Amino acid sequence: MLKKGEHIEGTPSALEKLLAQDARAKAFFDGLSKSYKQGYCDWVGSAKQEETRNVRAAKALIMLQNEQKTLKT
DSSP letter at 50 equals H
Cβ proximity of 72 and 41 under 8 Å: no
Taking only the tens place, the pLDDT of each residue in 30-69 is 999 999 999 999 999 999 999 999 999 999 999 999 999 9
Task: Give the model's pLDDT for residue 61.
Answer: 97
Cβ proximity of 43 and 53 under 8 Å: no
Instruction: State how far Cα 38 lies from the chain centre.
Output: 8
Task: Give the model's pLDDT for residue 20.
Answer: 97
